[in-house]
Chains A and B, each alone.
Chain A
């Protein structure tokens, strides 16, 4: 019965994706067009003849509403069109090349953050108000407050320039080049997850059923593993949905500093260059990922938290 509830819920959530996406596309499409200047404007102004040829080539000469429906038609066939900026490539190709890179870096960073973060959080919670707790949480606070555009250059200077252990940047899918970006990306997430875990763990360790578990003589590690861990991770799980989406769709800062060909820069570069198709492509892609991850988090939530039941059979 419960299985059915989840299935039904999932189906309706998946259907709900479509109107959300449509709204997203519409807003993004008109917003980017509202920004002053176009993709072919620069300090060196093009002669009108040349500008006209470019406009025709990219259909910019048509009325905006016609362009909008043309774009919707394209999207249905999953064709994001050619990039204005990178003329040799289509937006589909750019995303297909950028996403695996961002997914790898972001995914590894999230995994690292999840395991290390929960571990630190649990340890801190178990030794609440001891020196260990304070120092761990102090470091975590630092991890949250130091921005990654400070951490990244320092790591490069230290590990790559002075010590020469790892390359200073670049990308070739080798582990050496992944280490620094993954660490940089994971640090704030580790810190955040550690604090979340610690908070909810402390709360749960003080709840009645844990006291009962302890009272019947269960060793502490089993209390944590069997009874406290799952509910304590709930806030972490709900944090991880959007956080994972943010990490795997790429970070402009990390990509610039480590010269990584991920998705993040396309978004910013595309917007600055008024590369309409590229920005739209990335927005739609990002939207789908976020919606999907939120959906997954919902399902996980239902599975992990006995208090939540969807469509519980009467």
Chain B
């Protein structure tokens, strides 16, 4: 007993050790699990997949980060909720697989000459999942609900371009004064405070989705729960077990139901990225929300086909506190600090995730916009380092009198590594003495906002909509998000012009000008632009990379696996052979009757039949 127990423990322990060795990869042969390969994709003329290549079970399981906060579209904030709501609901506009804004509940729209009035013409055949018709009144009701102070929606920020939205939210005007008018049963008009070229994109945000009035009347605050929620999108809510899964079922009443292939979507909240990878590897996930940075090299080698990296609508940078010394009126020093960082090393050796080194604020891939690229972006790093040293001295610092500075960031492995890299580059190139301070997220945010103890700090922005303005307005004088203390009247004036400019090309040039002003003031330390990174099972197709990282499940479909097809073919073959055998047996039986008298011949034939029967049995096996 004793011995067997201790042996069992020893075995367990050595197995654990073995497992840990294996995972370091290379030495132990089996690092890559054998994953099924899909059959080749065959498309029909309309771009949909040929039914013969589709898997029988059209269920997709998507890793979704954190537990969704709520499925009330007007209360929702955060990516996990939005991912699910995009499948459940459809706003006036919606997104194509590549992120283009396309007609949703509205089949077309007119925009007035001053770009302030939008008239939407709704589809007349759109239904709610309870059978009600989706009408213009639903949208008026829903947008008012979203903007109502009573709802207290934190995403209502997205509605601010609508006329009177600010006053309604502040409870200064009744909700009826919101700039939305019902023209007839299927037409509505939205008036904006100023031209907002990205407004059609804002309408794809959950806060602009319609909710069913009858549903809300019936269940009140509990309307967003499973078994109760009525939606108008491609899917309806099935089960929702808190922190286990959210399951959606195909909505048979959806306008595109016959072109929707995936029957069931399962969203799994998995907060830990390493855990997500493990579950992907065990075959429990088709789509991960992210992948951990520290496993990147390994995944790149072993999951080359599954690893998907694509540009995202976000910039990672560090900020200066321009309200305190040494950064007030000291562009040379700021410039030196910006120049002395080798971004290529940060993205290649530190983050290693295909992030693009950046010298600007607005990420590439933003619609109608070419980001400003400063001249020094094309220099070699040696050149920049030299220039940095010259400017550093110009600012009055030297080896004898080095700059002592602090970098502050919120606790995270990634921020820490980058801050460390920056500190060592500053030390090497300029001789700056940097100390690192990490803080819990909300403490960090508060310090950043107060602009008193911060010097250099971690910053960054991921935009909710596809427009450079979202990045630039952070630096407007007095903006509550301006934790940098940046203030330049020229910059502000250009931004004012942007917000009233109606012509897209001119507006885009103005924003380019604003970004140029900001960057030639050396107000931030650009590091890189974000990418999305995830593992996607090769059977799952129909989605495309896009900068917003919005992927509606209704475009996806799952291919048959080669193995499954081979098994199916084998089964078919076996069935055919069985039939054949049965037929032969009948024949033999007939022959036997015929040859009842001719005993000499039958003996041989019987042997033959027996042999055939054995063959058949073997086949069956």
Spell out A's residues near B (CB within 8 Å): 35-38, 40-50, 52-54, 56-57, 85-89, 94, 97-98, 120, 123, 127, 132, 135-136, 139, 142, 151, 153-158, 160-162, 164, 167-172, 256-259, 261, 265, 272, 274
Is B82 an interface residue, CB under 8 A from the partner? no
A47 touching B69 by the CB < 8 A rule? no
Q: How far in angstroms is the closest Cβ of chain A from B136?
A: 26
**Chain B residues in 8 Å Cβ range of A153:** 274, 278
**Chain A residues in 8 Å Cβ range of B400:** none
Q: Which of A40, A45, A120 has the most CB of B within 10 A?
A: A45
A132 touching B442 by the CB < 8 A rule? no
In angstroms, Cα B241 to Cα A160, docked, is 23
**Stretch in B148-156, B302-310, B349-357, B523-531 with 4+ CB within 8 Å of A:** B148-156
Residues 1-44 (chain B) with a chain A CB within 8 angstroms: 1-3, 5-6, 9-10, 13, 15-16, 18-20, 22-23, 30, 33
Q: How far in angstroms is the closest Cβ of chain B from A115?
A: 13
**Chain B residues in 8 Å Cβ range of A42:** 445
26 contacts between A and B (CB under 8 A): A37-B441, A37-B442, A40-B154, A42-B445, A43-B445, A43-B460, A44-B157, A44-B464, A45-B449, A47-B157, A50-B152, A50-B157, A53-B171, A87-B69, A87-B70, A88-B71, A98-B242, A153-B278, A157-B19, A160-B278, A161-B33, A168-B282, A169-B279, A172-B244, A261-B243, A265-B271
B275 touching A259 by the CB < 8 A rule? yes
Q: How far in angstroms is the closest Cβ of chain B from A283?
A: 18
Residues 423-455 (chain B) with a chain A CB within 8 angstroms: 440-443, 445-447, 449
In angstroms, Cα B1 to Cα A127, docked, is 12
B19 touching A154 by the CB < 8 A rule? yes
In angstroms, Cα B154 to Cα A273, docked, is 15
In angstroms, Cα B441 to Cα A274, docked, is 11
Is B268 an interface residue, CB under 8 A from the partner? yes
Q: A46-B154, A256-B271 are in contact. Are A161 and B278 (CB under 8 A)?
A: yes
In angstroms, Cα B13 to Cα A167, docked, is 21
B445 touching A88 by the CB < 8 A rule? no
Which listed residue, A54, A87, A157, A261, touches B278 by the CB 8 Å rule? Answer: A157
Is B224 an interface residue, CB under 8 A from the partner? yes
Q: Mark B254-287, 1 if CB is under 8 A from A, else 0.
A: 0000000000000011111011001101101000
A45 touching B23 by the CB < 8 A rule? no
Q: A41-B442, A47-B166, A161-B282 are in contact. Are A132 and B6 (CB under 8 A)?
A: yes
A170 touching B160 by the CB < 8 A rule? no
Q: Residues of B within 8 Å of A, CB-based: how many?
A: 69
Which listed residue, B2, B152, B242, B443, touches A86 by the CB 8 Å rule? Answer: B242
B5 touching A97 by the CB < 8 A rule? no
B69 touching A85 by the CB < 8 A rule? yes
Which listed residue, B9, B169, B449, touches A47 by the CB 8 Å rule? Answer: B169
**Chain B residues in 8 Å Cβ range of A37:** 441-443, 445-446
- The 5 A-B residue pairs whose C-beta atoms are closest, nearest first, are A37-B442, A261-B243, A132-B2, A49-B170, A87-B70
B156 touching A274 by the CB < 8 A rule? no
In angstroms, Cα B280 to Cα A161, docked, is 9
Is B108 an interface residue, CB under 8 A from the partner? no
**Chain A residues in 8 Å Cβ range of B442:** 35-38, 41, 272, 274
Q: How far in angstroms is the closest Cβ of chain A from B400?
A: 38
In angstroms, Cα B271 to Cα A98, docked, is 17
B244 touching A52 by the CB < 8 A rule? no
B9 touching A139 by the CB < 8 A rule? yes
Q: How far in angstroms is the closest Cβ of chain B from A53?
A: 4
**Chain A residues in 8 Å Cβ range of B75:** 87
A136 touching B5 by the CB < 8 A rule? yes
A161 touching B281 by the CB < 8 A rule? yes
Having A43-B445, A56-B149, A172-B244, one finds 14 other A-B pairs with CB under 8 Å, namely A43-B460, A44-B157, A46-B154, A50-B156, A53-B150, A89-B242, A123-B5, A132-B3, A139-B9, A155-B16, A157-B19, A158-B16, A168-B278, A261-B243
B160 touching A47 by the CB < 8 A rule? yes
Q: How far in angstroms is the closest Cβ of chain B from A114?
A: 16
**Chain A residues in 8 Å Cβ range of B137:** none
**Chain A residues in 8 Å Cβ range of B33:** 161-162
**Chain A residues in 8 Å Cβ range of B170:** 49, 52
Is B481 an interface residue, CB under 8 A from the partner? yes
B6 touching A167 by the CB < 8 A rule? no
Which residue from chain B places its CB closest to the CB of A274 in the assembled complex?
B442
Q: How far in angstroms is the closest Cβ of chain A from B60?
A: 16
**Chain A residues in 8 Å Cβ range of B3:** 132
In angstroms, Cα B444 to Cα A35, docked, is 12
In angstroms, Cα B460 to Cα A156, docked, is 35
Which residue from chain A places its CB closest to the CB of B17 in the assembled complex?
A154
Q: A54-B152, A168-B284 are in contact. Are A162 and B10 (CB under 8 A)?
A: no
In angstroms, Cα B241 to Cα A98, docked, is 11
Which listed residue, B152, B222, B244, B443, touches A170 by the CB 8 Å rule? Answer: B244
**Chain B residues in 8 Å Cβ range of A36:** 442-443, 446-447
Residues 454-512 (chain B) with a chain A CB within 8 angstroms: 460-461, 464, 480-481
Is B48 an interface residue, CB under 8 A from the partner? no
Is B72 an interface residue, CB under 8 A from the partner? yes
Which residue from chain A places its CB closest to the CB of B222 in the assembled complex?
A88
**Chain A residues in 8 Å Cβ range of B9:** 135-136, 139
Is B225 an interface residue, CB under 8 A from the partner? yes
Q: A88-B72, A97-B242 are in contact. Are A41 and B446 (CB under 8 A)?
A: yes
Q: How far in angstroms is the closest Cβ of chain B from A140?
A: 9
**Chain B residues in 8 Å Cβ range of A45:** 449, 480-481
**Chain A residues in 8 Å Cβ range of B480:** 45, 47-48
Is B585 an interface residue, CB under 8 A from the partner? no
In angstroms, Cα B274 to Cα A157, docked, is 11
**Chain B residues in 8 Å Cβ range of A167:** 282, 284
A50 touching B244 by the CB < 8 A rule? no
Which listed residue, A49, A86, A158, touches B70 by the CB 8 Å rule? Answer: A86
Is B406 an interface residue, CB under 8 A from the partner? no
B282 touching A50 by the CB < 8 A rule? no
Q: How far in angstroms is the closest Cβ of chain B from A124?
A: 8
Is B67 an interface residue, CB under 8 A from the partner? yes
Which listed residue, B5, B449, B464, touches A120 by the CB 8 Å rule? Answer: B5
B19 touching A158 by the CB < 8 A rule? yes
**Chain A residues in 8 Å Cβ range of B71:** 88
Q: How far in angstroms is the closest Cβ of chain A from B259?
A: 31
Residues 209-268 (chain B) with a chain A CB within 8 angstroms: 222, 224-225, 241-245, 268
Q: A156-B278, A167-B284 are in contact. Are A46 and B271 (CB under 8 A)?
A: no
In angstroms, Cα B460 to Cα A268, docked, is 25
B154 touching A54 by the CB < 8 A rule? yes
In angstroms, Cα B347 to Cα A174, docked, is 44
In angstroms, Cα B245 to Cα A85, docked, is 17
Q: How far in angstroms is the closest Cβ of chain A from B299?
A: 14
Q: How far in angstroms is the closest Cβ of chain A from B45?
A: 41
**Chain A residues in 8 Å Cβ range of B284:** 167-170
Q: A41-B446, A169-B275 are in contact. Are A136 and B2 (CB under 8 A)?
A: yes
**Chain A residues in 8 Å Cβ range of B443:** 35-37
B169 touching A53 by the CB < 8 A rule? yes
Which residue from chain B places its CB closest to the CB of A97 in the assembled complex?
B242
Q: How far in angstroms is the closest Cβ of chain B from A108?
A: 18
**Chain A residues in 8 Å Cβ range of B20:** 154
Which residue from chain A places its CB closest to the CB of B439 in the assembled complex?
A36
Q: How far in angstroms is the closest Cβ of chain A from B163?
A: 15
In angstroms, Cα B443 to Cα A36, docked, is 5
Which residue from chain B places its CB closest to the CB of A137 in the assembled complex?
B6
Which residue from chain A places its CB closest to the CB of B481 in the assembled complex?
A45
In angstroms, Cα B274 to Cα A160, docked, is 14
Which residue from chain A places its CB closest to the CB of B165 in the assembled complex?
A49
In angstroms, Cα B512 to Cα A250, docked, is 53
Q: A35-B442, A162-B22 are in contact. Are A139 and B10 (CB under 8 A)?
A: yes
**Chain B residues in 8 Å Cβ range of A274:** 442
Which residue from chain B places its CB closest to the CB of A89 in the assembled complex?
B242
In angstroms, Cα B363 to Cα A190, docked, is 54
**Chain B residues in 8 Å Cβ range of A164:** 282
A123 touching B1 by the CB < 8 A rule? yes
